[in-house]
Structure 1
Amino acid sequence: MRGYAERFDFGKQTIRGWVYDEEAEDNRDVRVVATFDGEIVGETRPSATRNDLQKITTQDAWFSLECSRAFTALDVVSGRFQVKALSDGREAALSLGADGLATLKKTAVEELNGESSSSTTLWSSEERNAVKHQVEAGNLSPMLMPAGLPSMDGSAVIGLRGHLFLTEGNNSLLSLYAEPVDDALMSRVDRWMDVLAQRGEGCEARGTRFVQTIIPEKLTVLRDDAPVDIEGPSPVLQEIESRLRDADFYVSGLSPFEQWSDVDDPFLMADTHFSAVGAQRMFSALAAQIDPQLVPIVDAVRMYQFRYAVGDLTGRFKLPLYSRIVEPSDDELAAYADGITMIENHFPADGGMRGRRFRWTNSTAPSPLKVLIFGNSFFGTGDFAGYLSWWGKHLFSEFHFHWGPDFDWDLVDQLKPDVVVGQTVERFLNRVAAI
């Protein structure tokens, strides 16, 4: 059996994670139990799929376990509190992810010191404030570290010029680049083509335009900075791009980053996502397909404000590694900002990403189009110009982002958008999306 106890909520007495038993016919038969001093205090079974687990299994593997008694980080770290999987007479303790374990250890120390259990740092409040002020002032110190140094959990590495790269994770990213061009790969590409064709037909039947794009991995775009041998896009992305080269609905995610000459990189240093200039380039490519009048507006936006922030890869190294963020000032798209109104900001009750919805109207937008996106974190919350949604909410009269890999045709029928955009990323091509 494989799995992890990933998230602990000590206030709600819940644990979330995933488990998969290769020997079970139905993974929902696996029992997940929590024990305190050997006594069972909670039990559940896998009840949902999760996109990042599709390479491991398509069965229900994600679980949420509520306990009947309170427990603390000290209880978990000391072993008094345990999470186990039981299946067909076999038992396996669920491992703690490296990130979760480090957080638990820090929280346990804070509990020993009488500090708040909600804090995830060993620093005192005075030290945290001092560090915050140094970061806000831009007083960060560059340090030389060896390229190829792995993260604590082995899922990421340090590259050249200070970039961090995801290499493993639940999608076994590096294996995607080593995948042979065989019948299995071609069959998967064929299924992707069928899905995209059916999406196009579904949109056409509704009088809506269909656009699809696939955003490449940071490893693909900045492979010269990666400490691993990456010759180009993964074979599956290369094959899909080749087949869709002349498709009128497809916007290449590779083309905007070929022969990059900008002084700023298209991806953030401590993150797997776009910098503001990377998002600008990608959105310009999308705009050329959706509403070409927007291209000169997007391309004219200047980036000249600076700040610093940690990224989604920072926690894997257990070091305060920052990205230097270059972004536009509020003046750049001020002419289109006054009319922006957020009409929905929905977060699922399970705390996950899939199912989040962000919707805006904009009475001052230069484009009259209503656009609906089915995508992921590259569109994000729209709070920062590195998110594609930031550009969309400024430039379209209505911009709707639904966080998920599959099309929700009921939502399409409800909103009646002018354009529906499907977006995924290179690492998710190992799982063919639904129509």
Structure 2
Amino acid sequence: MDAQDNRDVRVVAAFDGAPVGEASPSGSRKDLLKVTDQDATFSLRCSRGFTALDVVSGRLVVKAQCGDREKALRFTAHDLTVLKKAALKELNADVTPALWSPADLDAVKARVKTGSMTPVLLPAGLPSPDGSAIIGLRGHLFLTGGSNSLLSQYQAPVDDAVLSRVDRWVDLFAQRQEQCEARGLRYLQTVLPEKLTALRADALLQIDGPSRLLQELESRLRGTDFYVSGLEPFDQWSSEDDPFLMADTHLSAAGAQSVFAALAARIDPQLVPLIEAIRMDEVRYATGDLSGRFGLPIYSRIVEPSEDQVSAYRGGLEMVEKHFPPENGSIGRRFRWVNDTAPSALKVLVFGNSFFSIGDFAGSLSWWGKHFFREFHFQWAPDVDWALVDELRPDIVVGQTVERFLGRIPEA
């Protein structure tokens, strides 16, 4: 609704078209503006109960009405995901969900190590049971939903809301650059694309490019001193290895190598030929973060460098800090490596997410960082911790996020 006095608004619930409840806004919460364009709160008591299936099927509808205008109220992406999962449980209440016991899965794990895998033909476009992912071409799995309602980000028009978010991101990056300059430090920022963007031809969806937010952001930031395009490494992909893992939303080793080379070109250009000289010469298999959404032990073929490929940079490598916060979750994890055999003497501090991760696999950008920089720090966080920056005094601060998170603007 347009900005109106909340006293003129009614909230109405209807089930199969029949009214079952009505209320008026009872207050406001400014923190709601982070997830919606209104700050009104209300409590709605209905004349009957409902199931999660009633909600996700569209039988229950809640609308805000003001005069002769009305607007359907939507659940947040997170709440809708919870409701969809609950609805699936309702549908499958009388069906045994487990196809294999843990013993069944353990019995075949040894075959995975020997590469005893087999192709299975499944229809492209088949959705996962929870509706959050699909099977694409060539065996690739794609995230389409989840808590960030990913597919809807590609369908959103370039309206005032999108342009406002772009402005806020640009302002945030400019503030970070100013903070670093005031400390005598360098700053770089990158936004990595989704697998759905980089491999959209395999997804069989109507996606003609990056999400509207990322398109606008790249347009504004390309050519600035501090921004490293996350799209350019994938624009003209020519490697025989795909840039993303088949059963996962994250980069393959080849994809991480390309992204890291783009960052290194701005941090310490003499590293680029050394990075590009690393060959992918080992193969193994592992499930991915999208496998479980299909209820199947779907594996990715992982092609990565052997230890021999980085032997010149491993002799002095040591992890000297591994911090896990007491709360569950990834935010706040911190890792630090020192490496006196690294080819670059720089100290680098990264604030990012799972695309850097713990650095135990060459598809993780931290794996490359720990081998190529004398001192490499990774803080798993969307915000820049300026107290940590002042404590560590790195040569360069790197900020990293990913396309699906562009709807959330960090504080710092």
TM-score by length of 1: 0.74
Shift of 1:58: 12
Q: Which residue of 1 aligns with 2:382?
A: 405
Q: Which secondary structure does the structure 2 equivalent of 1:144 belong to?
A: coil
Task: Decide whether aligned partners of structure 1 residues 301 and 99 sit closer, same or farther in structure 2, where only a CA change above 3 A counts.
Answer: farther
2:284 is the counterpart of 1:307:
yes
Question: Cα deviation per residue 1:359-392 (whole Å; 9 max; x = unaligned)?
Answer: 1111111100000000000001100000000000
Shift of 1:148: 1.0
Q: Which residue of 2 aligns with 1:246?
A: 223
Q: Is the 8 A contact 1:217 1:272 kept in 2?
A: yes
Task: Decide whether aligned partners of structure 1 residues 291 and 321 sit closer, same or farther in structure 2, where only a CA change above 3 A counts.
Answer: same
Q: Is the 8 A contact 1:55 1:171 kept in 2?
A: no
Which of 281, 295, 301 is residue 318 of structure 1 equivalent to? 295
Shift of 1:124: 5.2
Task: Decide whether aligned partners of structure 1 residues 148 and 294 sit closer, same or farther in structure 2, where only a CA change above 3 A counts.
Answer: same
Question: Cα deviation per residue 1:259-311 (whole Å; 9 max; x = unaligned)?
Answer: 11111100000000000000000000000010101101100000010000000
Q: Which residue of 1 aligns with 2:155?
A: 178
Shift of 1:121: 8.6
> Which structure 2 residues correspond to residues 17-416 of structure 1 after superposition, within 5 A?
25=28, 55=35, 98=85, 122-123=100-101, 125=103, 127-416=104-393
For residues 24 and 418 of structure 1, the distance between their equivalents in structure 2, rounded to whole angstroms, comes to 48
For residues 188 and 208 of structure 1, the distance between their equivalents in structure 2, rounded to whole angstroms, comes to 27
Task: Decide whether aligned partners of structure 1 residues 410 and 96 sit closer, same or farther in structure 2, where only a CA change above 3 A counts.
Answer: same
For residues 82 and 193 of structure 2, the distance between their equivalents in structure 1, rounded to whole angstroms, comes to 31
Code of the residue aligned with 2:101 in structure 1: it is: W
Q: Which residue of 1 aligns with 2:73?
A: none
Question: Cα deviation per residue 1:397-430 (whole Å; 9 max; x = unaligned)?
Answer: 1100000111000000000000000000011111
Q: Which secondary structure does the structure 2 equivalent of 1:332 belong to?
A: helix
Q: Which secondary structure does the structure 2 equivalent of 1:201 belong to?
A: helix
Question: Cα deviation per residue 1:141-197 (whole Å; 9 max; x = unaligned)?
Answer: 111111111111110000000000000111110111111111221111111111011
For residues 335 and 360 of structure 2, the distance between their equivalents in structure 1, rounded to whole angstroms, comes to 11
Task: Decide whether aligned partners of structure 1 residues 153 and 335 sit closer, same or farther in structure 2, where only a CA change above 3 A counts.
Answer: same
Task: Decide whether aligned partners of structure 1 residues 173 and 202 sit closer, same or farther in structure 2, where only a CA change above 3 A counts.
Answer: same
Q: Is the 8 A contact 1:307 1:325 kept in 2?
A: yes
Question: Cα deviation per residue 1:324-354 (whole Å; 9 max; x = unaligned)?
Answer: 0000000111111111111111111112111
Task: Decide whether aligned partners of structure 1 residues 432 and 198 sit closer, same or farther in structure 2, where only a CA change above 3 A counts.
Answer: same
TM-score by length of 2: 0.78
Structure label with greater radius of gyration: 2
Q: Is the 8 A contact 1:163 1:270 kept in 2?
A: yes
Shift of 1:128: 3.5
Code of the residue aligned with 2:224 in structure 1: it is: A
User: Percent identity at matched positions?
Assistant: 62
Shift of 1:122: 4.3
Q: Is the 8 A contact 2:88 2:130 kept in 1?
A: no
Q: Which secondary structure does the structure 2 equivalent of 1:430 belong to?
A: coil
Q: Which secondary structure does the structure 2 equivalent of 1:414 belong to?
A: helix
Task: Decide whether aligned partners of structure 1 residues 403 and 327 sit closer, same or farther in structure 2, where only a CA change above 3 A counts.
Answer: same
For residues 238 and 86 of structure 2, the distance between their equivalents in structure 1, rounded to whole angstroms, comes to 35
Q: Which secondary structure does the structure 2 equivalent of 1:333 belong to?
A: helix
Task: Decide whether aligned partners of structure 1 residues 286 and 124 sit closer, same or farther in structure 2, where only a CA change above 3 A counts.
Answer: closer
Task: Decide whether aligned partners of structure 1 residues 334 and 419 sit closer, same or farther in structure 2, where only a CA change above 3 A counts.
Answer: same
For residues 390 and 166 of structure 1, the distance between their equivalents in structure 2, rounded to whole angstroms, comes to 24
RMSD value, Cα: 2.8
Q: Is the 8 A contact 1:99 1:153 kept in 2?
A: no
Q: Is the 8 A contact 2:112 2:285 kept in 1?
A: yes
For residues 171 and 149 of structure 1, the distance between their equivalents in structure 2, rounded to whole angstroms, comes to 20
Q: Is the 8 A contact 1:155 1:169 kept in 2?
A: yes
Shift of 1:99: 10
Where do 5+ consecutive residues of structure 2 fail to align? 1-24, 40-78
